[in-house]
Structure 1
Amino acid sequence: MCGRYGIARLTWKEVVDALELTGLTAPAFDLEPRYNIAPTQLAPVVLSDRHEHRCAMARFGLVPEWFNKPLEELKFATFNAKSEEIMEKASYRGPLKSQRCLIPVRFFYEWQGKGKPWLISQVDDRLFFMAGLWTAWRGFSKGQAVDFYSFTILTTVANDAMADIYKRMPVILPPEDYATWLMADVPDALRVIGQYPSQLLTLHRVGPDVGNVRNEGPQLAEPMTGTLI
């Protein structure tokens, strides 16, 4: 599961430079610092239709393109998709064919039981990317016409580093698999989904304030004393 994450002070140029994808350019607008991105909020993503790539802001929580009711009537959770089930689930089968994305991340949060949030990042604090699926949705929300991109984060079974915290984790891709995930046929794309090596991740406990979606700022990512592992 991955329902909260942060990009800190990320720029589109950093995203583009890290991916090194042909034709991908940085948008002119700046990204706001974010330390507590939650479902239904907008977040930066790199979208692919298997022909070209583009940077965009998208709603965290995929809205299926076939969903034809007002947005507020979407009652099932789609911010995460189990990678083992995306071939069977109606919400994900279509996007899997040609609407895959990469989600830039500095860290993500996971809860160990009730009220024990942990922050997980790369050992060197560098930018990394999670695998996802996206849609372009048009419809109505609270009586107003809306038109936006949306996305879901793929999850897999937790590696050894994560297993004591929670049974699942996001699908994190190494750089050599970025292009395959975005551009390959479905069978080849699915082969890059796996457990990210435990030795490349670091974890520390953070305070409970991250549990409130209204809270923001770098203080949310600060470790609690004596909890680093």
Structure 2
Amino acid sequence: MCNLYANTLAPTLMRQLFKVRAENDQLGNAEPLTAIFPKGTAPIVALDEDGNRVLRNTHWGFVLPQTSKKTGKPIQPKAVNNARDDKLRSSPFWKASFTERRCLIPASSFCEAKGRNPATYVWFGVSGDTPRPPFALAGIWRSFAGNYGTEYRELTTSSMITTTPNELVKDTHPDRMPAILSPDDYEAWLTAPAEDAFRLIRPYPAERMVIHQQGEDLKSDHGGV
């Protein structure tokens, strides 16, 4: 499970890396995001109705409405921000989005917590020639319109796919890790039939990853690209 990641990429770099035309960049004056938590702003690359790549901001986590057990009234919803790969094709919560609405989630690092009281925060990334080489996580998205706690909201929401961990991540989180996509697979993830896209979900090679930093007081990524 991943409940924290960073995207410190400038919009111009995201447009270049993910082949998004300037007129399809909806991020505006996006600031570096050194700590993205569930319900936070999460930029994605998705396809519009005409099949063009678009950069847009989303609410990180599919909205799952909740009601108070005491009063029966709406309360703040859950943000389901991780989608397990073994549930994508069977769960009604995920299946339609996986089949019809896949996206790339630009990132510069992701964090997993190890232990408790205090936890050690371990920030992972991919290896390369820069301090925080950019990469893309496999994601899905969907629209939400309805009660969000005590107010009505219309949102584009996203969730990242998780898979089994590789040897580097396993020591920190033995069960899951975000699914990192190879650049050669970006187009197929966005456009291929669901069964072909599913085969792209696999642990990223440990030898192509690094630990950027780790410590007890590291709830944001202090690095940059």
TM-score, normalised with respect to structure 2:
0.84
Q: Which has the higher strand share?
A: 2
Quote the Cα distance in structure 1 between the aligned partners of 2:214 and 2:74.
33
1:36-115 equivalence runs, <5 A: 36-48=35-47, 51-63=51-63, 72=75, 74-75=77-78, 78-114=80-116, 115=119
- Structure 1 position 49, deviation (Å): 5.7
The count of aligned residue pairs is 212
Question: SS of the residue aligned with 1:162?
Answer: helix
Contact kept, 8 Å, 2:27 with 2:57, in 1: the verdict is: no
2:125 paired residue number: 121
- Structure 1 position 13, deviation (Å): 1.7
Contact kept, 8 Å, 1:107 with 1:119, in 2: the verdict is: yes
Change (3 A) 1:68 1:106: same
1:178 maps to 2:186:
yes
1:189 paired residue number: 197
Identical columns (%): 26
Task: Report Cα offsets for 1:115-151 as digits up to 9, x if no partner.
Answer: 0110101112211000011011111224332111001
Unaligned runs of 5+ in 2: 68-72
1:134 to 134, 141, 144: 141
Quote the Cα distance in structure 1 between the aligned partners of 2:137 and 2:190.
12
Question: SS of the residue aligned with 2:38?
Answer: coil
Change (3 A) 1:134 1:144: same
Question: SS of the residue aligned with 1:6?
Answer: strand
